[in-house]
Chain A
């Protein structure tokens, strides 16, 4: 089976940098995705890492280390609108990679 561990809550101030970590255990690994979900909203795709290293998309970056079964999402120049829950996810091998297994989510609170 799969399991993903991420912190339940993180608090940071506007303009700061925050890192949300994710460690995973999976019988077959194909990549790590990150999704953002605002309260009452739908999950929105942020990034996907299949290979080791850092992927940058604007203020958001995502990192993967397959040897450590570890990844993180880095949010820079935090804005109030970044207050949301962030989920890491992996394709589920049991389903032929056709579904996502999500972590329990990290609630980010950005303070002024």
Chain B
């Protein structure tokens, strides 16, 4: 158990819909990272927040957005969903900016039908 929690575990929705994925980092960790894992693209970095502020962006689509709240939990919002958005979405946390060890949550498996 990494100490990072993610909800929901599974999500099935339809194209065009909007979903919200939630993540709580390890106690004391200020950084939250979101990654997408699909069969054809592998593990890809989406976005990072540090203590409530956006700090780095990766291959995140404009239809996707995220935020980190004062209690440090984070939400990833995916809208206008497409079939290709079906993937595993992982949240990871670390103790500081750019720390090498990231602790991953169990992931949310999203299926868009």
Contact = CB atoms under 8 A, between A and B. Distances in A.
Contacts of B2: 42, 44
B74 to A, nearest CB: 14
Given A42-B106, A43-B90, A44-B104, A102 B97 contact: no
A48 B58 contact: no
Given A43-B43, A87-B43, A92-B58, A99 B104 contact: no
Given A98-B55, A98-B56, A33 B100 contact: yes
Interface residues of B, number: 25
Contacts of B50: 98
A91 interface: yes
| Dominant SS among interface residues on chain A | loop
B25 interface: no
Give the interface size class of chain A. 20 to 34
A100 interface: yes
A31 B58 contact: no
A11 interface: no
Interface of A: 30-31, 33, 41-45, 48, 50, 87, 91-92, 95-105
26 contacts: A31-B100, A41-B106, A42-B104, A42-B107, A43-B104, A44-B104, A45-B103, A48-B100, A48-B101, A50-B100, A91-B100, A92-B56, A92-B58, A95-B56, A95-B57, A95-B58, A98-B33, A98-B50, A98-B55, A98-B97, A98-B98, A99-B58, A100-B45, A100-B102, A105-B42, A105-B43
